[in-house]
Amino acid sequence: MGESHRQRQTRALPSGRTSAPLNRRQARIWRYARVMTPLASLTDLPQQLRQPVVRDLAWVLLSPPLLSAMPWPQRHPLSVSSWSRAPDTLADWLIRLDRDPGSLLNWLAQSSVRRLGLYYERLWQFALHAAPGIELLAANLPIRQNGRTLGELDLLLRDEEGVHHLELAIKLYLGPQRQSGAELAHWIGPGCHDRLDIKLDHLSQHQLPMSARGEARPALAELELCTAQAALWLGGYLFYPWPQPCVPPPGANPQHLTGRWLHRRDWPGFAAQRTDGRWQPLPRAAWLAPARVGRDELWPSETLQDWLHALQPQAKAQLLVRLQHSPQGDWQEVERVFLVSDDWPSAMPDAAEK
């Protein structure tokens, strides 16, 4: 029989070695992480996996939420699954999937996942179908009135705490250069089509109340449901301006994932300070989990310079990662930045983008 994730971790420790006791601040942070992300002990697992889609799946399940304080409850979809009580069983499932990802690839091939948000939702759906103690009742359930679609419920699931309507979102927001960052409206998407305050308003005023509206009763009744508890799960990254960072937005999770952003004109000065490793862009479909690149996929510095030279002045924001050589022989992401046009942001959003 193969080793479990816990056995592998134990084998890696020198004999007789025990971890140092946590100080009070570390203990508070650890307890907080367990509440917000019940699988926090597996945070490093995605970088140990080799299949890109399985790394993305692990990242989706294990990454912390962007915010910790919101007007609506935030609920990890696996919060009462037995996976959250025994994280090693989830780790072992992901490792087996990494060896044979066929079922996941077949699932993703069944519908379009060209948009990052759809890809994120499909990964969650795959995991929830497999999660012990969770019954996925519906996904993307349309709510209609007189033939008109009012919206969709991202997820309806049942666990030991009842029936839940969950809204999922994956977001990447860039903080301001000329403002403090202390207001939600200061944080906008890389394409200038989204803004953090607008997204939260749309969730609070439209998406989350949807399951409690009278128009939702027929759709719920078809599933033999009367009510569902509404909550959300908002994952992603916050990118801070270089060289002078701003403060996080109100309610930011202290353990949120971060990156930097800079204008094209600032790239030479930025790159000159970070010569340890290799830089290369990531396609949009690879924006979730930290990158892991084989030697044959690694860009020479000349290729990066050619790419930068060919990039149009008004090109969309590009996500680049700095890669360093790992003990496993491949190259792993240690930093990510958005490279934006010199006149970014050229337009501010006036509507939410899901």
Question: What mean pLDDT do residues 5-32 have?
Answer: 39
Q: Residue 48: helix, strand or coil by DSSP?
A: helix
* CA within 13 Å, CB half, 327: 2
**CA distances in angstroms from 186 to 190, 195, 258, listed in the order given:** 13, 8, 16
Domain ranges of the chain: 24-340
The span from the CA of 133 to the CA of 225, in Å, is 18
pLDDT higher than threshold 60 for residue 84: yes
Question: Token pair for residue 92?
Answer: 């072992």
Name the pLDDT band for 31 (thresholds 50, 70, 90): very low
CA 24 to chain CA mean position, Å: 29
Residue 328's pLDDT band (boundaries 50, 70, 90)? confident
The predicted structure's pLDDT at residue 146: 87
Residue 347 has a pLDDT of 54
Q: What pLDDT digit, counting tens, does each position of 228-272 carry?
A: 999 999 999 999 999 999 999 999 999 999 999 999 999 999 999
Give the pLDDT confidence score for residue 71 in this predicted structure. 83
The confidence score (pLDDT) of residue 9 equals 46
pLDDT tens digits for 193-212? 899 999 999 999 999 999 99
Average pLDDT value for the chain: 88
**Among the listed residues 311, 298, 299, 297, the one whose alpha carbon sits nearest the alpha carbon of residue 267:** 311
Q: What is the DSSP letter of 187?
A: -
**Please, which residues have CB within 8 angstroms of residue 152's CB and are 6 or more apart in sequence?**
140, 141, 142, 143, 210
Residue found by looking up tokens 């759906």 in the block: 125
pTM recorded for the entire structure: 0.87
Given a cut of 50, whether residue 354 has pLDDT beyond it is: no
**pLDDT tens, 141-195?**
999 998 899 999 999 999 999 999 999 999 999 999 999 999 999 999 999 989 9
Angle, CA 64 vertex, CA 325 and CA 195 arms, to 5°? 105
State residue 20's pLDDT score: 35
**pLDDT value for 67:** 95
